[in-house]
């Protein structure tokens, strides 16, 4: 995959070619998916390091490092956020069985399973539960669903979400705070 086509498609899209977006999605999805699995299958405790890296990488590879117009960029990220949600949740689902089993890894690195078992972060989130809860939230409040997707899966700041959705940052912040509380309560309830 070279940077060329995507950059070009993004430009066409900005110029009003709606079909360009449809052409971008599979490209972005493929790239993100391949990268995501490359990282995730290494099964480090916590995905954060790898995931950040892979989006960064995907972005660089796709847009050929050329700075994009700010509006293209937020649209690009909105697309990526949706796709990343899908990829992460799929991944969590496919690993679900293994993860909920013994929960212990034998320390081939000789670090010892006792230590491994404790490495799981307390704040690690059950992505499948989150996905369900988020779908439910979007039914209740579509815009909030969107905000969560952009903030959590897209890693956008409030300002960036505001820009992408055409609302004020203060609104984003307010909606995000309540959405977060609602989701965490929903997930916790589900876990009990």
* Positions 120 through 179 that interact with other proteins (CB under 8 A): 120-125, 127, 130, 140-141, 148, 151-160, 163, 174-175, 177-178
Residue of 46, 48, 62 whose CA lies nearest to 2: 62
Measured distance CA(7)–CA(68) in Å, rounded: 8
Q: Which of 80, 78, 79 is nearest to 57 (CA)?
A: 80
Whole-number Å distance between alpha carbons of 31 and 17: 22
For the bound state, the minimum distance from the C-beta of residue 61 to other proteins, rounded and expressed in Å, comes to 8
34 Cβ contact partners less than 8 Å away, ≥ 6 residues apart? none
Give whichever of 22 and 69 is closer to other proteins, judged by the CB atom.
69
Task: Find the binder of other proteins among 19, 22, 49, 135 (CB under 8 A).
Answer: 49
1 lies in the site for other proteins, by CB under 8 A = no
Q: Which of 4, 17, 22, 46 binds other proteins (CB under 8 A)?
A: 46
**Total number of residues that touch other proteins (CB under 8 A):** 97
Judged by beta carbon, residue 9 or residue 36, the one nearer other proteins is: 36
Note whether 105 binds other proteins by CB under 8 A.
yes
Binding mask 55-84 for other proteins (x = CB under 8 A): xxxxxx--x-x-xx-x--xx-xx--xx--x
CB-side exposure of 129: number of CA atoms within 13 Å? Answer: 13
* 45/22 Cα distance (integer angstroms): 35
3-class DSSP state of 61: helix
Residue 148 CB, nearest distance to other proteins (Å)? 7
Rg (C-alpha) for the chain, rounded Å, is 18
Among 17, 19, 22, 115, which residue sits at the site for other proteins (rule: CB under 8 A)? Answer: 115
């Amino acid at each position: 995959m070279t940077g060329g086509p995507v950059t070009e498609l993004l430009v066409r899209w900005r110029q009003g070619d709606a079909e360009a977006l449809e052409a971008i999605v599979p490209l972005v999805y493929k790239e993100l998916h391949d990268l995501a699995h490359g990282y995730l299958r290494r099964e480090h405790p916590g995905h954060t390091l790898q995931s950040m890296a892979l989006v960064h990488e995907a972005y660089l590879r796709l847009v050929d490092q050329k700075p994009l117009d700010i509006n293209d960029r937020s649209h690009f990220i909105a697309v990526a956020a949706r796709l990343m949600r899908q990829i992460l949740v799929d991944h969590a689902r496919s690993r679900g069985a293994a993860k909920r089993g013994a929960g212990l890894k034998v320390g081939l690195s000789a670090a010892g399973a006792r230590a491994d078992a404790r490495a799981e972060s307390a704040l690690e989130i059950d992505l499948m539960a989150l996905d369900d809860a988020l779908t439910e939230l979007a039914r209740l409040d579509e815009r909030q669903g969107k905000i969560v997707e952009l903030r959590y899966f897209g890693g956008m700041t409030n300002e960036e979400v505001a820009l992408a959705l055409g609302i004020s940052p203060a609104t984003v912040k307010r909606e995000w705070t309540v959405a977060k509380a609602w989701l965490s309560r929903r997930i916790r309830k589900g876990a009990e």
